[in-house]
Amino acid sequence: MQTLYRRLLTFLPRIGVKVLDLGPGAAVVFRRGDRTGVPVGQGAHLVAQGKGRYAVTSVGSDSWLVARGAKGRKATSVPFGATGARLLLDEAVSAEAEREFQLGAAHYLGAQHVAALLELNRVNCVFDVGANIGQYGKGLRRFGYKGRIVSFEPVSITFEKLQQAAESDPDWQVYNFALGREEAVQSIHIDWKSMNSLLPPSEYGKERYKRFAKGRTEEIEIRRLDDVMQKALEGIEDPRPYLKMDTQGFDMEVFAGAGERISEFVGMQSEVAALALYEGSPLMGEAIAAYEAAGFGVTGMYPVTREPATGRVVEFDCVMVRPGASGSAAG
């Protein structure tokens, strides 16, 4: 015998009220449009507008992934250490994309690490050397850094885009020259996408990147870091600068140009090479040894590029800090 509840659900559509029956003791009534019900876990439903098809995949004891489509997407939930966070991995990702996933995760984690270091060490001015079109500066703002940014980009067409990125940010300064060991005018290899360099490509670099066989050169100005620091830090009470370098093999020259004033930097990061892409650029061991000799200690190493065939890391983003710069003991 049909219950009063069931008879009511049958009657409602006759008077213009729509019913989405979710099972014993549960229903959704509405006047307009359509609704779709999808079971979620035990005793729960997802109610969505429209007639779209959805699939639900459990990704933990109390979490679900909801995807539009008849088949949906399968995901695996992986605990992120002891943080309480979980990482969702799409099971449809191919094995070929695994290294790209690793590099993407490294970039995100590296940016988070730098943001935390800037806050911990009370950094109020970031020197962004090799700024390209402003990706690093925009990333700093996205992760909550509110201090001054001073960016250096020597290539004229790239500098125009950097200016546009910084034009609405009153505490982001941009300069159209490079930094190095000494003042000079020198040719830079350009039209290598984001890999413009003052150094010629190595034999390994030519093999790795076909773009190195093309391109052209442009005359640029090079200045020393210690000569531009005073102007860059003007108006900042108790400056606590941080040095970021990404100059395609020229980082050690930039570092040398800081002279004795390198001691004023509370932290730094440099793209160090496990495999040399540029002729004359130092390898990772030499670069890190020089940075450590100046008083910095490694806090993180994040792969930037890998060889597709072997998986070997070509370059790392090396993040360093001067011990004791935060004024508190490390945990």
* Range(s) of the domain holding residue 292: 98-321
What is the pLDDT of the chain when averaged over all its residues? 88
> Does residue 327 fall inside a structural domain?
no
Where does residue 263 rank: exposed (0-12), middle (13-18), buried (19+ CB within 10 A)?
exposed
Q: How many CB atoms lie within 10 A of CB 304?
A: 19
Q: What band does 9 get if pLDDT is binned at 50, 70 and 90?
A: confident
Q: Could you say which of 90, 125, 150 is where a domain stops?
A: 90
> Does residue 66 fall inside a structural domain?
yes
What is the Cα–Cα distance from 13 to 190, expressed in whole angstroms?
70
Give the pLDDT score at 331.
Answer: 36
Are residues 159 and 110 part of one domain? yes
Q: Phi then psi for 108, rounded to 5 degrees?
A: -65, -50
> What is the rounded average pLDDT of the residues 272-293?
97
Are residues 162 and 78 part of one domain? no
Please write the tens of the pLDDT for every residue from 190-233.
Answer: 999 889 999 999 999 999 999 999 889 999 999 999 999 999 99
> Does residue 124 fall inside a structural domain?
yes
The residues that bridge with 267 in the sheet, in sequence order, are 242, 321
> What is the rounded average pLDDT of the residues 91-98?
64
Q: Could you say which of 90, 111, 143 is where a domain stops?
A: 90
> Does residue 222 fall inside a structural domain?
yes
Indicate the pTM of the whole model: 0.80
What is the Cα–Cα distance from 189 to 195, expressed in whole angstroms?
9
Range of 4-13, 62-71, 142-151, 304-313 with top mean pLDDT: 142-151
> Does residue 146 fall inside a structural domain?
yes
In the structure encoding, which two tokens stand for residue 60, read together? 């933990």
Q: Name the least confident of 49-58, 90-99, 275-284.
A: 90-99
Of the candidates 295, 298, 266, 324, the residue with the CA atom closest to the CA atom of residue 123: 266
Are residues 86 and 137 part of one domain? no
> Under the phi-then-psi rule, with left for phi > 0, alpha for psi from -120 to 50, and beta for the rest, what region is 317?
beta
Are residues 110 and 55 part of one domain? no
Give the pLDDT score at 27.
Answer: 80
> Under the phi-then-psi rule, with left for phi > 0, alpha for psi from -120 to 50, and beta for the rest, what region is 324?
left
Sign of CA pseudo-dihedral 94, 96, 97, 98: positive
> Does residue 180 fall inside a structural domain?
yes
For residue 307, pLDDT beyond 50: yes
CATH of the domain at 203: 3.40.50.150
Are residues 226 and 118 part of one domain? yes
Are residues 124 and 72 part of one domain? no
Contacts of 112 (CB under 8 A, 6+ apart): 143
Are residues 227 and 119 part of one domain? yes
> Does residue 136 fall inside a structural domain?
yes
Are residues 125 and 274 part of one domain? yes
Q: What band does 60 get if pLDDT is binned at 50, 70 and 90?
A: low
Q: Could you say which of 26, 59, 90 is where a domain stops?
A: 90
Are residues 69 and 184 part of one domain? no
Contact 210, 177 (CB under 8 A): no
For residue 309, pLDDT beyond 60: yes
Are residues 248 and 219 part of one domain? yes
Looking from the CA of 257 toward its CB, the CA atoms found within 13 Å total 22
Are residues 145 and 289 part of one domain? yes
What is the number of structural domains in the chain? Answer: 2
Are residues 308 and 206 part of one domain? yes
For residue 1, pLDDT beyond 50: no
> What is the rounded average pLDDT of the residues 163-181?
98
What are the counts of helices (DSSP H) followed by strands (DSSP E) for the chain? Answer: 8, 18
Q: What band does 298 get if pLDDT is binned at 50, 70 and 90?
A: very high
Give the pLDDT score at 45.
Answer: 75
> Does residue 328 fall inside a structural domain?
no
Amino acid of residue 254: V
